[in-house]
Chains A and B, each alone.
Chain A
Amino acid sequence: SQLAEENSWALSVHEGESVTVNCSYKTSITALQWYRQKSGKGPAQLILIRSNEREKRNGRLRATLDTSSQSSSLSITATRCEDTAVYFCATDSTNTGKLTFGDGTVLTVKP
């Protein structure tokens, strides 16, 4: 079974709307990262949130981390068509020191 996974396979919103992608994980972690991968490109990091942080912001993006429920969320406000991508959470486990990626959530932002 996966150590990290996003909770929705696909989401679709219209431009200007807000959307939240959720992630759950199964081991204790030192940090959780959110990556975005656009079609034909490699992933790019959006936010890194450490285990002692509860919230982190980056422009229109806001990530939360709840270590008690072993879950994280990434919210995007005022979505744009260029936000269309696959969003991954990746956890850094205290046991392995390596990143484990979920399968990703496909987000489509329609005009």
Chain B
Amino acid sequence: GGIITQTPKFLIGQEGQKLTLKCQQNFNHDTMYWYRQDSGKGLRLIYYSITENDLQKGDLSEGYDASREKKSSFSLTVTSAQKNEMAVFLCASSIAQDEDTQYFGPGTRLLVL
């Protein structure tokens, strides 16, 4: 088995601040994902990466940057935090892109004051 670790667990930021969320997986999976989940809603894809140094935009990429520094890690940056923003950011990985089980981390909970 493997595990996905997300840091930090909680993140409180200020309006306009640049915030970075980190994700590590030890499944040795090729593909990694970042999703945003708003309260009572489903997951929306922000960025995904098929392999190291690859980046693909999801439906919600505006306002975010991502970086796949190595196979095991995938970072997400909120380029300018929006006031009163509150959401959970979920990282996931899968063996390959299509038709595969995605394994999720516990999430980073963001609150912008």
Stretch binding the partner chain, chosen from A12-20, A70-78, A97-105: A97-105
CB distance from A43 to the nearest CB of B (A): 5
From 60 to 111 in chain A, residues with beta carbon under 8 angstroms from any chain B beta carbon are: 88, 90, 92, 97-99, 101-104
Tell me the interface secondary structure of chain B in the complex: loop
Whether the pair B104, A97 counts as a contact (CB closer than 8 A) is no
Complex CA gap A65/B79 in Å reads 40
When the two chains form their complex, are residues A45 and B42 in contact, meaning their CB atoms are under 8 A apart? no
Q: How far is the CA of A99 from the CA of B27 in the complex (A)?
A: 20
**Does residue B2 face the partner (Cβ distance < 8 Å to A)?**
no
Answer yes or no: B58 CB below 8 A from chain A CBs.
Answer: yes
Given contacts A41-B106, A42-B104, A42-B107, contact A101 B42 (CB under 8 A): yes
C-alpha spacing A104/B43, complex, angstroms: 9
CA distance A90 to B99 in the complex (A): 11
Give the contact-size bracket for chain B.
20 to 34
Decide yes or no: A88 and B102 within 8 Å by CB, A42-B92, A43-B90 being known contacts.
Answer: no
The interface on chain A, measured as residues whose beta carbon lies within 8 A of the other chain's beta carbons, has a size of 22
**Per-position 1/0 for B75-113, Cβ under 8 A of A:** 000000000000000101000011101111111000000
Closest to A41 in B: B106
Near B by CB (< 8 A), chain A positions 26-65 give: 30-31, 33, 40-45, 48, 50
Alpha-carbon distance A42/B90, docked complex (angstroms): 7
Known contacts A44-B104, A88-B42, A97-B98; 10 additional CB pairs below 8 A are A2-B42, A30-B99, A31-B99, A33-B101, A42-B104, A43-B102, A50-B99, A98-B48, A99-B45, A101-B35
8 pairs of A and B residues whose beta carbons are closest in the complex: A42-B104, A101-B42, A101-B43, A103-B42, A31-B99, A45-B101, A97-B98, A43-B104
